[in-house]
Amino acid sequence: MRRYFDKTISLERLVINGDKEEYVSMSTVKGDILPIGANDILLSEGNPARECKLYTDTTTDIKETDRITYNGRIYIIRAVRIWQRNSIAFKEALIEEIKN
């Protein structure tokens, strides 16, 4: 699966500094961003036109509320889950694009 994770994506994590929340750059991750499928539209809470999925290795440190940037677009991670079938495993994250 790793050969498909060929995009370098910037990762930021939401941290609390005193009484202020801010995003802090964490690292870059390797992954792929794809549109959501028809069955995922039922699960989406926001605007399906702005939602995608991030696929990455199971060891990648990503959490809900993290923010990623790829190709000039900024996304918030809404949900993360791990899929495993036989010897294939990957993380899948539902992400929503933020419009500035």
How do the domains of the chain map onto residue ranges?
A: 2-98
pLDDT band (50, 70, 90) for residue 86: confident
Sign of the CA dihedral with 64 first, then 67, 69, and 73 last: positive
Homologous superfamily in CATH for domain 2-98: Bacteriophage SPP1 head-tail adaptor protein (2.40.10.270)
Tens digit of each residue's pLDDT (9 = 90 or more) over 42-81: 565 656 668 899 999 999 999 999 999 999 999 999 999 9
Tens digit of each residue's pLDDT (9 = 90 or more) over 19-47: 999 999 999 999 999 988 766 665 656 56
What pLDDT score was predicted for residue 4?
74
What pLDDT score was predicted for residue 91?
95
- Work out the angle at residue 54's Cα, subtended by the Cα atoms of residues 63 and 21, and round it to the nearest 5 degrees: 35
